Every structure is written in C-alpha cells, then in structure tokens.
Amino acid sequence: MEAVAREAGVSKVTVYGHFATKEALFGSVIQRETALLRHGLEQLPDTHEAVRQSLVEVGTSLVRFLLEPHVLAVERVMSTQGNQHPELLLAFFESGPWATKKWLQEKLEGLARTGHLTLNAPTLAADQLCSMWQGMLVMEVRMGVRQLPSDEEIDRQVSSAVDVFLAAYGNL
C-alpha cells in the first residue's frame, strides 16, 4: 500500500480511506480492467447475425485482453505467488475470471430468454465459450512457447469458436 500511495502522490491514509485492504485495492484494479470486455453484449442483440457478431466482439476483446503484457505478468505472479498470498489469488479470481464468467453466463441466459440460444447448463456453456475463444493461443503465449498471435489468428480462433458454440446452442 505504501508503494501505491507513493506512486499516486498521496498518503497511505488516503489509500486506506478508499481501500481497506490490499485485496480490495487489487480487486478494484482487476474489476476496472475487465469492465472493458463487456461492451459487446451490454444490450442484447435482436437477430442471429447480431448475436454472432456480439459474441465475436466480446471473445476478441477477451483474448486480446488476456494477451496484454501487463495481464500476462499479473497471471504469472498469481500462479507463482498464489500459495504465499491466497487472499490476493482469491481477490484476483473473484474480481476477474469468476466475475467475467458470471457476467457472460447472465448474458447467455438473456440470449436464451429471447429465444436465440437453448441452454440446459448456462454455467457450463459460459465455461465452454470462454475456453473455445482462447483455444491454445492464450496458454501457449502465457507459457512462452509462441509469440503473440496476429489479429487474423485471433479473429479466426474467436469466429470459429462462436460458430461452433452457436451450432451447439443456437436457435437458427
């Protein structure tokens, strides 16, 4: 918290006035970062093509976000330091991956209510879509066995994932 206060040019008291713990501060930063992913589905689309396009936009935003150097760095720190700082790891998951999955699940349920999807297990469907969007691309970059994919590779990965998802769950 001292480093955050120094960087912000304020006192630690000011930082603690806004965030009671470092976990709360960390969670707030993660929430702010992941909020940018949600623009593609803020309003539920009304046509099949608009559903497809919205899912492609959200998936592309997610994959590009996950491949950002600062995001890769945070994930590396979380995977190496999580055992020593389980409270930060929990804050990371609650504010980032779990919150994003919950948001996506709610949006998919909305698409099911409007007749665009048939979902028997919305949580599983959200997991599957997130996993298909990322494919092996994100893990390979995260693990350092490949360079960042091109925009075309990301577009192909995400578009194909959405097409498979809609073939399984979509109501044409």
- Give the per-residue pLDDT at 4: 39
Range of the domain at 32: 1-169
CATH number for the domain that contains residue 88? 1.10.357.10
Domain total in the chain: 1
> What's the confidence (pLDDT) of residue 8?
41
Q: What is the DSSP string of 20-67?
A: SSHHHHHHHHHHHHHHGGGGGGSS--SSHHHHHHHHHHHHHHHHHHHT
Q: What is the mean pLDDT of residues 101-125?
A: 95
Per-residue pLDDT tens over the stretch 120-142: 999 999 999 999 999 999 999 99
